Amino acid sequence: MKRVYMDANATTPLLPEVMEAMRPYWMEHFGNASSIHLDGQQAHTAVDHARSVLAEFFNCHDAEVVFNSGGTEGDNTAIFGLLHPGDHFITTSIEHSAILQAANRMAQHGVETTFVAPSASGLIDPTDILRAIRPETRLISMMLANNETGVLQPVEEVGKIAANTGVFFHIDAVQGAGKVKFDVRRFGCHLCSISAHKMHGPKGIGAMFVRRGTPIEALLVGGSHERRQRAGTENVPGIVGLAKAAELAMHSLEDGTISRLAKLRDRLEAGILALPGTGLNGANSIDCHPERAQRVEGPASSLSEDKMGAPGASHLGTWESTNPVPRVANTTNIWFNNLEGEALVIALDLKGVAVSGGSACHSGATEPSHVLMAMGLDKARARASLRLSLLKTVTDADVDYVLKVVPEAVEHLRAISPVAAGTLG
């Protein structure tokens, strides 16, 4: 049976070039990058080169790149490394659990957190962040792109607010990295976390931009690796793989890959939305929470410009209730009336299509998505939502196949669904 993987926001496969770049560092050049002999120096040179590639990716100095184990570690480091008892922390209610759970833990250590809610379209209003700032606010953390809806958040505006108010700013860029143009100077952040496995690199490796002079305490202590900012023998093959993935991601932003991806996503989305009883989450979803949508006013910015390369471009004053909000090119999130989302995920899997019914990091959990709930969806609709996230290698034939099996599965499930029949309480 044909298999089509449309769960790229959960993880992605290595690109062949990434695999080839890593290959020598498992057996041939296996040295410890801290050793002074030739084997160690070969590893050290590879790590140095990777650091330069990541510095180009972030647009920062080599010394501002810290390799770590991925997005969770970066998110945790920002929070545990900067906040002290008595500090106030601002984040959003649509963050990944690596942020939300770390904030919850800090509550036990005398750090109060304000969770800013999104609009019905899944967009955070920067003025809500500004309003939440207090004299004791030390850190703001916000994601670049949401993992469930793909909605791009106004990081540049928040960067300006952080600069004007003297608050540290961390960006969880795990889902935006490699999908939109990236520049930590433009974003105005002090810290920025990325993860290789979301951009066709290996799992268990990531990097963090740490702006020079940011007084962050290391999460892991021991050896003097990573300028004492992250102890532990360097994962050399992983670091080399991350650098190759970052290099390829930079090219793909220039070579038309992203616009091709956006076209395929749009075709997929339009095809599914043509089914009765469906709608988009993370766009013009005024029907689910009109009060929130009305909070923002003004002319809209262009979807195509925003989603291709200008995350955070002037969202202030966007009239989101009548215009699309900016999203990354590979993601769509769609609700279906009168069926169970879990059942649809399983039915599609049996037909060879891998998608997610919620955040990938929670797959298997039965709770409705906290992101969709924060956007104002009711529990039933949040549960009956599907996230389709496309790999950069997706083909027209993949989209054709999904557009064939989704209507069949939906029709079948609706025919047998206790939700549709109204027999479910």
Told to check if 273 binds ligand PLP by CB under 6 A, we report no
Please pick, among 60, 189, 192, 361, the residue that the annotation labels catalytic: 361
With CB under 6 A as the contact rule, the residue among 53, 58, 71, 321 that binds ligand PLP is 71
- Separate counts of helices (H) and strands (E) for the chain: 17, 12
Q: Concatenate the DSSP letters of all residues of 127-157 into one string.
A: HHHHHH--TTEEEEEEESB-TTT-BBP-HHH
In the complex, minimum distance from the CB of residue 206 to ligand PLP, in angstroms, rounded to a whole number:
5
Annotation marks residue 192 as catalytic: no
Binding segment for ligand PLP (CB under 6 A), chosen from 14-22, 69-77, 224-232, 390-398, is 69-77
Report which of 373, 207, 366 is spatially closest to residue 288, judged by C-alpha positions: 373
For ligand PLP, the closer of residues 148 and 340 by Cβ is 148
- Closer CB to ligand PLP, residue 70 or residue 282? 70
| Residue 143 interacting with ligand PLP (CB under 6 A) | yes
142 counts as binding ligand PLP under rule CB under 6 A: no
Q: Nearest 5°: CA angle at 173, between 294 and 300?
A: 30
Return the number of other C-beta atoms located less than 10 Å from residue 351's C-beta. 18
Nearest-5° Cα angle at 277, 272 to 279? 60
At 1 the three-state DSSP class reads: coil
Q: Does 77 bind ligand PLP (CB under 6 A)?
A: no
Distance CA 378, CA 368 (A): 9
The residues in 185-214 that bind ligand PLP, with binding defined as CB under 6 A, are 195, 206
In this chain, which stretch among 105-113, 125-133, 169-177, 294-302 interacts with ligand PLP, using CB under 6 A?
Answer: 169-177
Nearest-approach distance from CB 176 to ligand PLP, in angstroms:
8
Q: Which is nearer to ligand PLP, 383 or 387 (CB)?
A: 387
Characterise 179 by phi-psi region: left (phi > 0), alpha (psi -120 to 50), beta (else): alpha
Decide: is 360 part of the binding site for ligand PLP (CB under 6 A).
yes
Edge-first strand listing for the sheet containing 112-116: 65-68, 206-210, 191-195, 168-172, 137-143, 88-92, 112-116
- Binding residue for ligand PLP, selected from 7, 87, 157, 172, defined by CB under 6 A: 172
Interatomic CA distance for residues 349 and 347, integer angstroms: 5
- Dig out the tokens for 135 from the structure: 């004299």
The verdict on 129 binding ligand PLP (CB under 6 A) reads: no
DSSP β-ladder status, 65-68 and 206-210: antiparallel
Q: Which is nearer to ligand PLP, 71 or 159 (CB)?
A: 71
With CB under 6 A as the contact rule, the residue among 29, 44, 51, 96 that binds ligand PLP is 96
**Interface positions with ligand PLP (CB under 6 A):** 70-72, 75, 96, 98, 143, 147, 172, 174-175, 195, 206, 360-361
Active site residues per annotation: 361
